[in-house]
Chains A and B, each alone.
Chain A
Amino acid sequence: MLEIVFVKPDALPRSGALVLPLAEAEGAAAAPPPGGLRQRAEEATGGAIGRALEAAAFKGRKGQTATVWAPGAGLSRVVAVGLGKAAELSAEAAEAAGAALQPAVANEAEAVVAAEHLPPALAVALAMGAVLRAYRFDRYRTKEQEEDKPKLRRLAIATADPDAARAAWAGQEAVAKGVYLARDLVSEPGNVLTPAEMAERCRQLEPLGVEVEILGPKEMRKLGFGALLGVAQGSANEPRTVVMRWLGRSGAGKGGSNGAAAAEKPLAFLGKGVTFDSGGISIKPAQSMEEMKWDMAGAGAVVGLMAALAGRKARADVVGLVGLVENMPSGTAQRPGDVVRSYSGQTIEVINTDAEGRLVLADLLWYCQEKYEPRFMVDLATLTGAIIISLGHEHAGLFSNDDELAQRILAAGKAVGENCWRMPLGEAYDKQLKSDIADMKNVGGRPAGSITAAQFLQRFVNGKPWAHLDIAGTAWASKEKGSTPKGASGFGVRLLERLVAEHYEG
């Protein structure tokens, strides 16, 4: 991960890149504020930078960049990056500037950002943008030439108060690491990231103070996870359920801040982790089936979230559950028409084996509310293609039986740029799940496909406060945008980290 250091704006770098984040009002024409790195750079280069930016028509618009090559004073380049209107300067704008500047300096060995005019919180947001934009998954490239790889290992951010920025960054760096972890998991191919392998990777959270418990097929059979096991039974790769607990409030965990505090109801996050989804006997069309390696993105986000919360020692008790299965067609696979008995005791007629995510979550949700008595449950799942037809790729679908929780999720998502859109629930939709032979079918037909999927899940929350995020349209970015490069987005980690930070650590 790109390392961030905060430094005092004492000296102009003698080589490498200097980055100037500029708001619209202080574009090229405006005189640089006295005493700053920019003014010193102008002096050292005889005013070349200001002239060059004017020539390049650099206006300071949000995300705009301009590069001035070899302006003198030993610098290999000066990169101006726009912050948008000075009056509207926000964390979002600073993050966008960080995201925009990163590719412009990726090939430098050293780079310094002259952010001394930004408050520490915005310097941190800028750092976040740069770090998240710098993510790449190159584990499987064996022939990439050294000169084609990004060189920049460390980005120095010059700020008036490095101590304050460092303190704020410590927490944000943990969040960035959580996003990286989620993106890594989502990017991994299905032959590498089997349920067992993903469970092992969850164990890597133990050094952070997370308790990790892995339930194998034997334990799940004993418990009666009939819905989850039905999905898994066609694959040679056996399923796992992983329970991760971070007890940052009650202090029972290693990272606990107060050993004496009484245990509280934990917050619960659950993720669909279908490590590869062929559709099973209801097999998917071949075109784009490779994308189904990311059908575990909900679980990936939950693992990343747990890493983020533990990494910054969040003062909250949190339990994360992921249901890890592979959905394959085979002689042992479940069939359309099969009836399975879920952990809740409710029976399900499996009409379509490709509606498997909800079967996995059904057992997880019931188990979670029964065993951990959580304050609320939020599940994440790449659940339906219908949510893409409904909303596209800019919003995840949000379904909830609790208005306050839903509002908080919407607000947290907006704050970090992981937007959600509330979708309806209702009895009329629930009726579409009626089965002739069992308590319910696992699909309700094409109309309202995402809503009926959510109705299905709601039957397993036992009336507890709950929200469901259908992230099928947002887990994978088909083109880069802002701080998300093309590929795995890690959607959900920052949103839920913010949700916890805003409301549940007081």
Chain B
Amino acid sequence: MLKVRLHRAPPEGAALRVLPLAEGAAVPEPFRAAAAAARFTGRAGQALHCLVPERALLVGAGPAAAPLDFARAGGGAVAQADEETRALALDARGLPPEAAAALAAGACLRAWRCDRYRTKDVKPGLERLDLVVDRPHAVAPAWERAAAAVRGCLLARDLVAEPANHLTPALFAERMERLAEDGLAVEVLGPKRLAKLGFGALLAVGGGSANPPRLVVLRWKGAGGAAPVAFVGKGICFDTGGLALKPAEGMEEMRADMAGAAACAGAMLALALRRSPAPAVAVLALAENAIGAASYRPGDVLRTLSGRTVEVLDTDAEGRLVLADALHYAATRLAPRAIVDLATLTGAIVTALGHHRAGLFATDAALAAQVAAAGEAVGEPVWPMPIGERHREDLRSDIADLRQCAPHGSGAWGGRFLPDACHAAAFLRAFAEGVPWAHLDIAGVALRKEADALGPEGASGFGARLLDALVAMRFEEGKG
């Protein structure tokens, strides 16, 4: 993450001065003529490089109403900075503390990159932000909160960007153990312990790989007392599809099939860094879905941790299986007041909502509304989706308590059209065991298809900031 310092006045030096301007607001005098000539109005997404009478970058903050408008302006400034620019001075004087903090947060999000595996021609880039504010001590608390969320998001992105040969379930778990330094309690369950406890679904999915599964439990104690909110994440470190092997085209993206677990980890880090009063737990189900002599098969019947038996139809619908065990564990062992799970679960949700919104399924209307509001606030939008009676009926099995998905070819119009995202949600609902539950299918949003104001192309970290905002909005009541 960029180094960020708060200043009362623009520091001496080579930092490029950035001026965020609301749409329609008066442009400061020295740049008024340039803005008029270039038709800069302050609309969101606009930017104008001024060279006379002094160097400055004007960025549009659109309505400049919510912190998100300023985050996008900050991100927009970073996107405009050229390779030679090492530092930006974000001029947030006159802005409320939350807006000033958001400006810097957006810049940090947009400046993230993953250069770890480049050995040559690594381009230098931004290193530092100077956040210029009227009263630094008044802005500092807001910045600390915003920075915590940014660091959580960037942790998620770092994990998602990691190739699968560098992030096996065991290596993922090791990284999680390092979060103890930030104040989280970390527990890792290995294959032996999982077998003893009866994680039949998680072990079956991971059975085909030389890299056996892990279950990671992260705990943040908060101010104590209350029941925790639980996050559950799908962490398939690589998904070949198993015996139902995926086509080769695009398979490399399947290293991101652990984005749900990464987002949960990122959210937990954010809560710890900002010392949230709300207790929280995260359960990460980590496995590699590989092809091997010990792979599970279509037709297999698995006994899940809950005792329910599941008929496997498609080994590439593995996410819901690992989540079944993780959800049941969270619901029955961790006494949560609510569960939110995140998973890159289905292609169907991409067909439904594309790359601009995650699918939201829930059993609790109030929780769903809060998740949606948190997503809107941080620029990670979701859309409510249904779980119907028929979706559950479609999961009736001839031989087990339920089957994991509807058979291929059983859909409409020649079998091609199956509401698989709804089926998956209907399946998962059973394993939340009646605890208020929301499920985010993030298959369409875990990777940014193209750069936008809040990040470059690639890993988005979707969910980490949403969950952090959700906790702040819903689970920190009575914090005084």
Contact = CB atoms under 8 A, between A and B. Distances in A.
A429 B356 CA distance: 8
A424 B357 CA distance: 9
A289 B415 CA distance: 12
Contact of A390 (B348, B355, B411, B414): B348
Nearest to A385: B417
Given A388-B412, A388-B413, A447 B444 contact: yes
Contacts of A195: none
Interface in A396-436: 421, 423-424, 426, 428-429, 432
Interface stretch (A144-152, A168-176, A313-321, A448-456): A448-456
A428 B45 CA distance: 13
A288 interface: yes
B356 A388 contact: no
A446 interface: yes
A389 B104 CA distance: 40
Interface stretch (B21-29, B169-177, B233-241, B384-392): B384-392
Contacts of B413: 288, 291, 385, 388
A394 interface: yes
A220 B343 CA distance: 50
B332 interface: no
B354 A447 contact: yes
A312 B178 CA distance: 72
A120 to B, nearest CB: 30
Chain B CB within 10 Å — which of A390, A392, A395, A449 has the most?
A392
B420 to A, nearest CB: 7
Contacts of B348: 389-390
Contacts of B388: 392, 394-395
A391 B422 contact: yes
B383 interface: yes
Contact of B414 (A285, A393, A421): A285
A432 B354 contact: yes
A280 interface: no
Nearest to B411: A388
Given A288-B415, A421-B385, A429-B356, 15 more contacts: A287-B414, A288-B412, A385-B417, A389-B352, A389-B419, A393-B390, A394-B388, A421-B386, A423-B383, A424-B357, A424-B383, A446-B350, A447-B351, A449-B351, A451-B353
Interface string B340-362: 00000000101111111100000
A503 B390 CA distance: 31
Interface residues of B, number: 29
Contacts of A393: 390, 412, 419
B419 A392 contact: yes
B333 interface: no
A473 interface: yes
Interface in A428-485: 428-429, 432, 446-452, 472-473, 476, 478
Interface in A70-106: none
Contacts of A424: 353, 357, 383
Interface in A269-300: 285, 287-289, 291
A365 to B, nearest CB: 23
B416 interface: yes
Interface string B429-473: 000000000000000100000000000000000000000000000
A386 interface: yes
A450 to B, nearest CB: 7
Contacts of A390: 348, 351-353, 385, 419, 421
A390 B417 CA distance: 9
B419 A391 contact: yes
A287 to B, nearest CB: 4
A392 B391 contact: yes
A446 B390 contact: no
23 contacts: A291-B412, A385-B412, A385-B416, A386-B352, A388-B412, A388-B418, A388-B419, A389-B418, A390-B348, A391-B385, A391-B419, A391-B422, A392-B386, A392-B388, A393-B390, A421-B385, A426-B356, A429-B356, A432-B354, A446-B351, A447-B354, A448-B354, A448-B355
Nearest to A422: B384
A476 B417 CA distance: 14
Interface in B94-138: none
A386 B353 CA distance: 10
Interface string B274-298: 0000000000000000000000000
B386 A448 contact: no
A484 to B, nearest CB: 13
Nearest to B413: A288
B356 A395 contact: no
A447 B350 contact: yes
B297 to A, nearest CB: 26
A145 B350 CA distance: 50
A385 to B, nearest CB: 5
A54 to B, nearest CB: 30
Contacts, number: 96
Contacts of B414: 285, 287-289
A450 B422 CA distance: 16
B352 A478 contact: no
Nearest 8 interchain pairs by C-beta: A448-B354, A390-B352, A288-B414, A392-B419, A447-B354, A287-B414, A388-B417, A394-B388
B356 A478 contact: no
Nearest to B409: A287
A390 B356 CA distance: 15
A367 B386 CA distance: 35
A475 to B, nearest CB: 10
Contacts of B415: 287-288
Contacts of A448: 350-356
A451 B352 CA distance: 8
Interface string A366-390: 0000000000000000000110111
B398 to A, nearest CB: 17
Interface string B363-386: 000000000000000000001011
Contacts of B351: 386, 389-390, 446-449
Contacts of A478: 412
Contacts of A385: 412-413, 416-417
A491 B351 CA distance: 23
A392 B353 contact: no
B56 to A, nearest CB: 29
A107 B279 CA distance: 65
A411 B98 CA distance: 40
Contacts of A395: 386, 388
B443 to A, nearest CB: 10
Contacts of A428: 356
Given A390-B385, A393-B412, A421-B386, A429 B354 contact: yes
Contacts of A429: 354, 356
A478 to B, nearest CB: 7
B267 to A, nearest CB: 24
Given A288-B414, A448-B356, A392 B383 contact: no
B405 to A, nearest CB: 13
Nearest to B349: A390
Contacts of B422: 391-392
B52 to A, nearest CB: 34
A381 to B, nearest CB: 15
Nearest to A452: B354
A294 B390 CA distance: 22
Contacts of A287: 414-415
A391 B420 CA distance: 9
Chain B CB within 10 Å — which of A424, A426, A452 has the most?
A424
A476 B350 CA distance: 25
Contacts of A389: 348, 351-352, 417-421
A421 B391 CA distance: 15
A421 B419 CA distance: 14
A138 B417 CA distance: 29
Nearest to B355: A447
Contacts of B444: 447
Contacts of A473: 412, 417
A389 B349 CA distance: 8
